[in-house]
Amino acid sequence: MKKLLFIPLFAFFLQAQPVHASEYPWKTQPPFEISFIDGFQDIYNPGEQFSFYVEGKSSHIDMGPKSGFSVTAYIQDQQNVTIGHAVGKYDANRSAWLINLAAPSDDTRAYNVMIYLYCGKDDSQCADTYGRAAQTEKILQLKVR
Instruction: Give the model's pLDDT for residue 100.
Output: 98
* Cα–Cα distance measured from residue 128 to residue 145, given in angstroms and rounded to the nearest whole number: 45
Domain ranges in the chain are 31-144
CATH top-level class of 31-144: mainly beta
Amino acid identity, residue 74?
Y
pTM summary value = 0.78
Beta bridge partners of 91: 96
- Reported as a single tens digit per residue, the pLDDT across 24-59 is 455 555 679 999 999 999 999 999 999 999 999 998
SS (H, E, C) the chain: CHHHHHHHHHHHHHHCCCCCHHHCHHHCCCCEEEEEEECCCCEECCCCEEEEEEEEEECCCCCCHHHCEEEEEEEEECCCCEEEEEECEEECCCCEEEEEEECCCCCCCEEEEEEEEEECCCCCHHHHHHCCCCEEEEEEEEEEC
Of 51, 53, 75, 52, the C-alpha closest to 63 is: 53
Beta bridge partners of 36: 55
CB-CB contact of 136 with 115 (8 Å): no
- Reported as a single tens digit per residue, the pLDDT across 72-108 is 999 999 999 999 999 999 999 999 999 999 999 999 9
